[in-house]
Amino acid sequence: MRIAVGADHAGWPLKEGLVRFLMDRGWDVEDFGTFNDESVDYPDYAEKVGRAVSAGHADRGLLLCGTGLGMCISANKVAGVRAVTANDLMSARLSREHNDANVLTMGARTTAAAMAEEILAVWLDTEFVGGRHQRRVEKIQNLESPQF
């Protein structure tokens, strides 16, 4: 399994630890940066990770910024991305079970490293249940089509 990872300057320190966490769990990680605390624009990294997931180059994506919110908004602009910000274990689990979320965003200023690892582990280990939720995910996908 391959996961695309990206962060802005606020998320960079947490990203570094989570990349090690992912690699220790056997995930193949593609790190799109940033690689230091120099100020950068989070939409640039959300786009890179979102496009990698949407194109099938990565199975899932992880994005980190100060709150996770800007990354989530930006990533969801990429067709095929279903990004969520999860700050707790239940949200992480349900975003996979019910929404088939393929990009997880978290906030380095709002989530402690140990909790971020737990959230990420639950999110990665949870499968989409399909069933009635499949119909809803298809409706989300239909929203990406232009309406005239």
Which residues are known to be catalytic?
A: 65, 98
Question: Counting beta carbons within 10 angstroms of the beta carbon of residue 115, is it exposed (0 to 12), middle (13 to 18) or buried (19 or more)?
Answer: middle
Collapsing DSSP to helix, strand or coil, 85 comes out as: strand
> How far is residue 92's CA from residue 70's CA, in Å, rounded to a whole number?
18
> What is the C-alpha to C-alpha distance for residues 102 and 3, in angstroms, rounded to an integer?
10
